[in-house]
Chain A
Amino acid sequence: MAGVVLDDLTKRYDGGALAVDKLNLDVHDGEFVCLVGPSGCGKTTALRMIAGLEEITSGEVRIGDRVVNNLPPRDRDIAMVFQSYALYPHMSVRDNMAFGLQLRKTPKADIDKAVLEAARILDLERFLDRKPGQLSGGQRQRVALGRAIVREPAVFLMDEPLSNLDAKLRVQTRAEIARMHTRLQATMIYVTHDQVEAMTMGDRIAVINEGVLQQAGTPKDLYELPQNRFVAGFIGSPSMNFIDLKVTQDGGVLRLVGEGAEMRPDDTQAALLRDQGVETVTVGFRPEHLELATLSGPGLSVTVTVDVVEFLGNDELIHGSSEGRDVVAIINADNTLTVDQSVTLSSPPRRLHLFNPTTGLRIASDGLPRGDLVARRIGTS
Chain B
Amino acid sequence: MSVQAASLPAATPVAAPAAKRQRRGLRPSRIVINVVLAAIAIFWLVPSIGIFIISLRPNSAFEQSGWWTVLTAPAQLTFSNYQNLFSAGFKPGGVLDSLTTSIAITVPVTILVTLISSLTAYSLVFGRWRGRTLVFLVIVALLVLPLQMALIPVASLYKVFDNATGLQLFGSVIGTIIFHVAFGLPFGIFLMRNFYSGIPHDLLEAGRIDGAGEWTLFRKVVMPIGIPALASLAIFQFIWVWNDLLVALIFLSGNPHGTLTLFLYGQTRALANNYYIISTGAMISIVIPLIVFFAFQRYFVRGVLAGAVK
In the complex the two chains form, is A86's CB within 8 Å of B212's CB?
no
Measured as residues with beta carbon below 8 angstroms from the partner, the interface class of chain B is 20 to 34
Partner among A53, A84, A103, A104 whose Cβ is within 8 Å of the Cβ of B310: A84
Given A90-B224, A90-B225, CB of A85 within 8 Å of CB of B210: no
Which residues of B sit under 8 angstroms from A137, Cβ to Cβ? 310
In the complex the two chains form, is A85's CB within 8 Å of B310's CB?
yes
Besides A53-B208, A84-B200, A131-B307, 4 other CB < 8 A contacts? A80-B209, A99-B220, A147-B210, A169-B4
In the complex the two chains form, is B4's CB within 8 Å of A103's CB?
no
In the complex the two chains form, is A126's CB within 8 Å of B309's CB?
no
Find residues 199-215 in chain B having any chain A CB closer than 8 Å to their own CB. Answer: 200, 202-203, 205-213
Which residues of B sit under 8 angstroms from A90, Cβ to Cβ? 224-225, 304
In the complex the two chains form, is B308's CB within 8 Å of A89's CB?
yes
CB of A82 within 8 A of chain B?
Answer: yes
CB of B28 within 8 A of chain A?
Answer: no
Find residues 129-169 in chain A having any chain B CB closer than 8 Å to their own CB. Answer: 131-140, 142, 147, 151, 164, 169
* Bound form: Cα–Cα A134–B1 in Å: 18
In the complex the two chains form, is A86's CB within 8 Å of B13's CB?
no
Distance between A196 CB and nearest chain B CB, rounded to angstroms: 20
* Bound form: Cα–Cα A123–B220 in Å: 27
Partner among B1, B10, B203, B211 whose Cβ is within 8 Å of the Cβ of A86: B203
CB of B51 within 8 A of chain A?
Answer: no
* Bound form: Cα–Cα A133–B310 in Å: 10
Which residues of B sit under 8 angstroms from A172, Cβ to Cβ? 1, 4
CB of A224 within 8 A of chain B?
Answer: no
CB of B2 within 8 A of chain A?
Answer: yes
Q: Which of A70-78, A301-309, A352-360 contacts B (4 or more CB under 8 A)?
A: A70-78
Partner among A53, A87, A136 whose Cβ is within 8 Å of the Cβ of B205: A53
Given A73-B208, A86-B202, A104-B211, CB of A136 within 8 Å of CB of B8: yes
Distance between B302 CB and nearest chain A CB, rounded to angstroms: 11
Nearest B residue to A84 via CB reads B309
CB of B221 within 8 A of chain A?
Answer: yes
Nearest A residue to B212 via CB reads A103
CB of A79 within 8 A of chain B?
Answer: yes
Partner among A74, A133, A176 whose Cβ is within 8 Å of the Cβ of B211: A74
* Bound form: Cα–Cα A104–B5 in Å: 31
Q: Mark B1-41, 1 if CB is under 8 A from A, else 0.
A: 11011001010010000000000000000000000000000
In the complex the two chains form, is A80's CB within 8 Å of B306's CB?
no
CB of B147 within 8 A of chain A?
Answer: no
CB of B140 within 8 A of chain A?
Answer: no
Distance between B307 CB and nearest chain A CB, rounded to angstroms: 3
CB of A223 within 8 A of chain B?
Answer: no
Interface size on A, residues (CB 8 A): 46
Distance between A103 CB and nearest chain B CB, rounded to angstroms: 4
Given A89-B305, A140-B307, CB of A126 within 8 Å of CB of B10: yes
Distance between B229 CB and nearest chain A CB, rounded to angstroms: 13
CB of A212 within 8 A of chain B?
Answer: no
* Bound form: Cα–Cα A90–B304 in Å: 7
CB of B303 within 8 A of chain A?
Answer: yes
Partner among A100, A138, A173 whose Cβ is within 8 Å of the Cβ of B210: A100
* Bound form: Cα–Cα A12–B118 in Å: 33
Partner among B1, B202, B205, B213 whose Cβ is within 8 Å of the Cβ of A123: B1
Nearest B residue to A142 via CB reads B1
* Bound form: Cα–Cα A99–B224 in Å: 14
CB of A235 within 8 A of chain B?
Answer: no
Q: Mark B219-238, 1 if CB is under 8 A from A, else 0.
A: 01100110000000000000
Which residues of A sit under 8 angstroms from B2, Cβ to Cβ? 123
Which residues of B sit under 8 angstroms from A122, Cβ to Cβ? 1
Which residues of A sit under 8 angstroms from B213, Cβ to Cβ? 74
Which residues of B sit under 8 angstroms from A173, Cβ to Cβ? 1
* Bound form: Cα–Cα A142–B308 in Å: 13
Which residues of B sit under 8 angstroms from A133, Cβ to Cβ? 303, 306-307
Task: Please name the 7 residue pairs, one residue from A and one from B, whose CB atoms are nearest each other, closest first.
Answer: A132-B307, A133-B307, A133-B306, A84-B309, A100-B210, A86-B202, A74-B211
In the complex the two chains form, is A89's CB within 8 Å of B306's CB?
yes
Given A82-B202, A136-B8, A138-B4, CB of A89 within 8 Å of CB of B307: yes
* Bound form: Cα–Cα A88–B224 in Å: 10
In the complex the two chains form, is A79's CB within 8 Å of B308's CB?
no
Distance between A64 CB and nearest chain B CB, rounded to angstroms: 17
CB of B216 within 8 A of chain A?
Answer: yes
In the complex the two chains form, is A135's CB within 8 Å of B203's CB?
no
Partner among B202, B207, B208, B221 whose Cβ is within 8 Å of the Cβ of A84: B202
Find residues 106-132 in chain A having any chain B CB closer than 8 Å to their own CB. Answer: 122-124, 126-127, 131-132
CB of A198 within 8 A of chain B?
Answer: no
